[in-house]
């Protein structure tokens, strides 16, 4: 805990010890609790008819407002996944945009906008307890490039077919059912987001790693449940002093993180967002940048000039050759020594990385995870060989 020297001098030792003892009661150093989800189940008093084209509906709230007409229906077909669905769009005003208009007209060749947009300025100075951003309210307004659904968001009704039996929807099996439905709906929704982003050129619309599915109902079974995805855990008080000191030292000394490590973090973030192509590209870039900088440093230690080093790198520009030949020249080790890792990495490099970068083929979630793991293992292996 940090406090001023003056305060410490003025405070009696007994009070300091008592205060610290009370504060320590609020501290834990083991992993805090985590609450992932719960699934309240319901049936309807009046059972609705089963739609012709689907027996299951999932309602999804997006953190974006997609500017498509309310009630607009579109069929989504994912042929490779053998999956199809009907999706109905709805735009929802939040209470920060109370009394905004529900008029919903569109034109053939241009966007339409609301008249009479008004904004209420936030209270200043900003009250910390209201959150990190200034609080606005308004009417018929939206935040620019809003990715949090501040004034307005889109609600989707996704209708598709499932073949669950009543016993499979029992409470103790709902976590499995929810996972399967979430995976299918996620593919449908992210397909919509990809195409909307492409057509509108709104780059801030990105894939969602996890969906806010707030209702699932099986028409034929008359069973529904609310997937309450909490993803809540005990709050972190502070990072360790070791972390705190490292952060401070880097800032004081004007140090920047190694680019390849930032790219590895980007690849993990992209994987979590189901942006598999970006994930593989970032991971491959991380390895290639690390390897090139590593070789430059080792050739310098050997005594090569900058021109000689560049000649070596230009002659062996493929990552495979650098791992096999140039590493042998500089540290007397080649990745070929680790035959299992070499074979797995080469297979990934030829099949996944090349198809992604040169053919634009999207990798599967498993291929993406494997690529990330193998690239990290190669970097770790190189580090190990020079210790």
In the Cβ-directed half-sphere of 339, how many Cα atoms lie within 13 Å? 0
β-partners of residue 38 are: 228
**In sequence order, which ranges of 234-318 are alpha helices (DSSP H)?**
241-252, 259-272, 276-302, 306-315
Chain centroid to CA 376: 19
Which is higher by pLDDT, 191 or 233? 191
* Block residue for tokens 């000689």: 308
The tens digit of pLDDT for each residue in 334-344 reads: 999 999 999 99
Residue 228 pLDDT > 90: no
The tens digit of pLDDT for each residue in 355-382 reads: 888 888 899 999 999 999 999 999 999 9
Distance between CA atoms of 279 and 331, rounded to whole angstroms? 30
Give pLDDT, residue 87.
97
Look at the domain 257-385 and name its fold.
1.20.120
What are the residue ranges spanned by the domains of the chain?
A: 38-231, 257-385
Range in 161-175, 294-308, 369-383 with the lowest mean pLDDT: 161-175
Cβ contacts of 174 within 8 Å, gap of 6 or more: 39, 41, 225
Q: Which long-range contacts (CB under 8 A, 24 or more apart) does 6-11 make?
A: none
Q: Which two tokens stand for residue 118?
A: 């008004």
For all residues of the chain together, what is the average pLDDT?
A: 92
């Amino acid at each position: 805990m940090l406090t001023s020297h003056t305060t410490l001098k003025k405070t009696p030792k007994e009070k300091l010890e008592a205060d610290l003892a009370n504060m320590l009661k609020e501290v834990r150093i083991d992993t805090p609790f985590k609450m992932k989800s719960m699934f309240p189940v319901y049936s309807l008093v009046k059972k609705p008819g089963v739609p012709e084209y689907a027996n299951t509906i999932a309602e999804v709230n997006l953190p974006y407002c997609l500017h498509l007409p309310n009630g607009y229906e579109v069929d989504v077909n994912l042929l490779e996944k053998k999956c199809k669905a009907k999706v109905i769009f709805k735009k929802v005003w939040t209470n920060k945009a109370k009394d905004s208009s529900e008029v919903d007209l569109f034109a053939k060749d241009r966007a339409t906008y609301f008249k009479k947009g008004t904004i209420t300025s936030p209270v200043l100075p900003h009250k910390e307890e209201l959150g990190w951003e200034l609080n606005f309210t308004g009417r018929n307004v939206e935040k620019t490039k809003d990715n949090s659904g501040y004034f307005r968001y889109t609600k989707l009704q996704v209708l598709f077919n499932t073949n669950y039996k009543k016993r499979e929807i029992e409470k103790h099996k709902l976590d499995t059912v929810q996972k399967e439905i979430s995976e299918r709906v996620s593919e449908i929704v992210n397909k919509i987001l990809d195409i909307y982003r492409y057509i509108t050129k709104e780059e801030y619309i990105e894939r969602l790693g996890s969906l806010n599915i707030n209702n699932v109902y099986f028409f034929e079974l008359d069973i529904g449940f609310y997937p309450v995805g909490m993803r809540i855990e005990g709050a972190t008080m502070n990072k360790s002093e070791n972390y705190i000191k490292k952060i401070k030292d880097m800032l004081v000394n004007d140090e920047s993180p190694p680019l390849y490590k930032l790219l590895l973090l980007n690849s993990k973030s992209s994987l979590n967002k189901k942006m598999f192509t970006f994930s593989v590209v970032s991971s491959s870039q991380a390895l290639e940048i690390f390897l090139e900088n590593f070789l430059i440093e080792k050739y310098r230690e050997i005594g090569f000039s900058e021109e000689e080093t560049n000649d070596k790198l230009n002659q062996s520009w493929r990552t495979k050759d650098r791992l096999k030949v140039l590493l042998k020249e500089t540290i007397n080790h080649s990745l070929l020594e680790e035959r299992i890792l070499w074979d797995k990495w080469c297979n990934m490099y030829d099949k996944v990385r090349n198809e992604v970068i040169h053919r634009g083929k999207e990798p599967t979630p498993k291929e993406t995870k494997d690529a990330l793991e193998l690239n990290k293992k190669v970097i770790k292996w190189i580090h190990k060989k020079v210790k």
